[in-house]
Amino acid sequence: MHMSTPASAEAPAIRKNRARFLRPGGYPVVPIVILTLVLIVPALFSPWLAPYGAEETDLRTRLAPPVFFGGSWDHMLGTDRLGRDVLSRTMYGARYALSISAVGILVGVVIGSTLGLIAGYARGWFDTVIMRLVDISLALPAMLLALALAALSGPSFRSVIIVVAFVLWAYFARQVRAEVLSLRELDYVALAVVAGSSHLTILRRHILVNVMNTIVVLATLQVGIVITLEASLSFLGIGIPRPTPTWGLLVSDGRQLLTSAWWLSFFPGLAILLTVLSVNLFGDWLRDRLDPKQRTI
């Protein structure tokens, strides 16, 4: 007699099989390879690897299709309405995706983690004020908040960094504060107080080092959010201004030609999809790796 497997038993098996496919040997090989090929290598080496300059035009080859759809190997992923190479512009777009993610998350980490450390350790009125600000920030829709800030500050690289940091700081402040509240009650912190250590020394030597894993994992998981946020702002025209070839702007430039020149939006959009998915998978693995309590495989 055939017996069906309960759904509760199937779910772990499915997750385990998927994890084995994405993490051969226990490591996220597939996400790392995708991130390396789609984001890191183009971001670092696009001036040398890209076949053309980001703004190099050739009207004679305008709207040329990709090579596998009747195009030429000279423009493997086709060209846009000005004859600019889509592959080259997508590679240059990776530079802005990586730089905005790195700088924006770094600013958010510094502000949010610092406030979270102080709030969790000092408690009292400062903790109350910071947590109310965190509640307000998290209650507001992130995209609506980003649109308002970007509209006020105008489209620029600096404006996008400000928006990213403003959106992310509350996540770090809340998580770090929660970790500090539990850490400050541990015996070794009490012994450090009895030994006469200053509050700054206790925070730096005994608490910060124990929340670094949480900060690193949370920062990794935010990369996909930042890339999506920047692409959305650029798509709406209030992110990094033209002619900078960000992925969001590339998708926006091709939206009016989706039926006749679909490749203009497809390949930058595919780069966003692969990058965000790979970063999230890598972040999940990193969380399991750094926190044994979270391991599922």
**What are the tens digits of pLDDT across the range 82-93?**
889 999 999 999
* pLDDT for the residue numbered 184: 78
Q: Is 279 exposed, middle or buried (0-12, 13-18, 19+ CB in 10 A)?
A: buried
Rounded to 5 degrees, φ, ψ at 55 are -110, 15
- How does DSSP classify residue 51? S
Across the strands, what pairs with 203? none
Q: How far apart are CA 135 and CA 111, in angstroms?
A: 16
Q: Is the peptide bond before 243 cis (omega within 30 degrees of 0)?
A: yes
- What is the set of domains in the chain, with CATH numbers? 27-294 (1.10.3720.10)
Report the pLDDT averaged over residues 59-82: 88
Question: Inter-axis angle of helices 157-183 and 142-153, to 10 degrees?
Answer: 140
Residue 169 CB partners (closer than 8 Å, separation 6+): 108, 111, 112, 115, 137
Half-sphere exposure of 239 (CA within 13 A, CB side): 25
CA distance 216 to 220: 6
- Could you read off the pLDDT of 224-254 as tens digits, one per residue? 889 888 888 888 777 788 888 889 889 988 8
Look up residue 266 and give its DSSP letter: H
Q: Report in angstroms the alpha-carbon separations of 119 from 111, 192, 194, 209.
A: 12, 19, 21, 17
Tokens matching residue 197: 């250590």
Mean pLDDT of 47-61: 88
- pTM comes to 0.81
| CA atoms within a 13 Å half-sphere pointing along the CA-CB vector of 17 | 5
CA distance 191 to 296: 35
Highest mean pLDDT among 58-72, 208-222, 270-284: 270-284
Specify the pLDDT at position 23: 54
| Tokens read off for 15 | 């997750």
